Amino acid sequence: MMRNLPHPIQYQGSKRNLAPIILKYFPKKVRRVVEPFAGTAAISIAAAAKQIARQFWLNDINKALIKLIEFIVESPNEISSLYSKIWREQHNDSVKHYYQIREQFNRTHDPKFFLYLLARCAKGSVRYNTEGLFNQSPDKRRKGTRPETMEKNIFGVSLLLKGKCMFSNSDYKEVLQYVDQNDLVYMDPPYQGVCGERDSRYYAGIAFDDFVIALEGLNKKDISFIVSYDGRRGTKSFGNPLPDFLNLTKIEIEAGRSSQATLLGRDEITVESLYLSPALLESCHKKQSGYFETGYKTEQFLL
């Protein structure tokens, strides 16, 4: 069921495929799921499908991306029609068309152009130059999601989330100031070890020390939260582990063999980490004895 969830946006780094196992560590019911780094909202879509929450706060520093998500959720007819129009205008020279749309998007930041670019760009991988302009090339082997499929996915997401969401384009620290003990905060920030303060793969990076201070603040307020942060592939690690003084429980998820490593002739498993807050574990233990085992463990999830 989870694998058939609608997702209009192909986005490198999305937690779409890992959502089933991540949701295992959510409470059965919460008032609201808050995503300060919402991206394509894959976790909120999955949580809505499982009826874990009926309210969602989707925030992302990338204004065009969060506006696109809002369009998809609240105005599915409009964004679906606009996508179809742009897609059908590709004609014979679809690569030239892509670059024309990219130029229009960088000039206007209009989400209707962004959806086409995300559907057509190489490897679903978002790239920005030093001026903050989208600069990823098109996938020349394909022309992007067909309008009929895109429409189905757009309306599927809208059906799950329409009328249940608050959308914002703020720094994550501002969002965290307004969460309370009735919320479950899920955070999937750019890996500090991958991008640091700035990297072409991300619209903006975050500072590791600032993030640790923000998590410490959540602990002091007894906020339930889950963080997807560091990881590793083979012997190579990505990102600094979150410090022990935060008293978080670390879960490792085996996310399958790395396709990039396979192409290079290496058989390497990609492992991603989840960190569970003390308040989350305490809440779940009270409601269901033995919900989690404290300490370190590994989950297998083969993609």
How is residue 32 written in tokens? 């609201």
Mean predicted confidence (pLDDT) in 212-227: 97
Burial of 165 (0-12, 13-18, 19+ CB in 10 A): buried
CATH 3.20.20.70, applies to 75-155: no
Calpha distance 172→187 (Å, rounded): 9
Contacts of 142 (CB under 8 A, 6+ apart): 120
Span 254-270, pLDDT tens digits: 876 544 544 444 557 78
Domain boundaries, the chain: 75-155
The mean per-residue pLDDT over the stretch 199-213 comes to: 73
Residues 66, 73: Cα–Cα separation, whole Å: 11
pLDDT band at 203 (very low <50, low <70, confident <90, very high): low
Q: What is the pLDDT of residues 93-146, one digit of tens each?
A: 999 999 999 999 999 999 889 999 999 998 878 889 888 899 999 998 889 999
Q: What's the pLDDT at 293? A: 40
Task: Specify the pTM.
Answer: 0.86
